[in-house]
């Protein structure tokens, strides 16, 4: 029942935002996707969406990223603060913080069909970073790190048919993937341009600058 509840909650997040956030992996690409079946906010019964204020629009952009990366408000606020303290463009610094999370890397490598699933795999100890078991989804990886599924885990139900699914999968250029060994490597740092997050990061920075 809990998994079914999580699915419904994820669908409602997309409908409330008014945009596909791809929170449910492959299902988001099928006619079963909630944004195809019910392309309107939950509870409003096809009424037109209200025109948002500047603050409301910024809030929506912030919520998009929190939903996409499965982040709590406190976590995301910390990432914004850390990005602001570093040299360079805040938005670019933020991209690096959220994209280099271990659960996101597992998802980006195609080793999980959603970030929520990737988070579970990491938490359950299935993932190694440089041959060391890491069970913290928020663990910050870096270029040169090698991420792989533990050998003992590869024959489990969790990874059934994964190698077959990966045959057609192509990761981003800043990642490399050994599909036979379920192993990937971070080649370079991610940027706004090469991850294409479907949210306005500048508006998010402005939201937290209030």
Mapped onto helix, strand or coil, the DSSP state of residue 173 is coil
Closest Cα partner for 105 from 194, 175, 187, 23? 175
| C-alpha count within 13 angstroms, C-beta hemisphere, residue 42 | 11
| pLDDT tens-digit map of 125-136 | 999 999 999 999
What is the per-residue pLDDT across 157-184, written as a single tens digit (0 to 9) for each? 989 899 999 999 999 999 999 999 999 9
pLDDT tens-digit series, residues 135-149: 999 999 999 999 999
pLDDT of residue 158: 87
Mean pLDDT over 7-17 rounds to 59
pTM (2 d.p.): 0.78
d(CA 124, CA 126): 6
Task: Name the packing angle between helices 90-99 and 73-85 (round to 10°).
Answer: 130
CA–CA separation, 79 vs 97, rounded Å? 7
- Is the CB of residue 208 less than 8 Å from the CB of residue 80? yes
């Amino acid at each position: 029942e809990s998994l079914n509840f999580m699915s419904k909650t994820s669908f409602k997040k997309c409908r409330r935002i008014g945009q596909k956030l791809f929170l449910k992996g492959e299902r988001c690409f099928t006619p079963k996707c909630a944004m195809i079946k019910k392309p309107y906010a939950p509870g409003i019964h096809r009424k037109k969406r209200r025109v948002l204020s500047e603050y409301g629009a910024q809030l929506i952009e912030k919520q998009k990223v929190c939903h996409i990366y499965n982040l709590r408000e406190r976590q995301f606020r910390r990432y914004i603060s850390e990005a602001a303290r570093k040299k360079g463009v805040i938005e670019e610094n933020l991209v690096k913080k959220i994209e280099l999370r271990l659960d996101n890397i597992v998802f980006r490598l195609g080793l999980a069909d959603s970030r929520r699933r990737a988070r579970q795999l990491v938490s359950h100890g299935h993932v190694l970073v440089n041959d060391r078991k890491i069970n913290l989804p928020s663990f910050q990886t870096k270029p040169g790190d090698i991420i792989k599924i533990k050998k003992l885990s590869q024959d489990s139900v969790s990874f059934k048919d994964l190698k077959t699914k990966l045959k057609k999968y192509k990761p981003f250029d800043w990642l490399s993937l050994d599909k036979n060994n379920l192993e990937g490597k971070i080649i370079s740092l991610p940027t706004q341009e090469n991850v294409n997050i479907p949210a306005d990061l500048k508006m998010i920075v402005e939201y937290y600058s209030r």
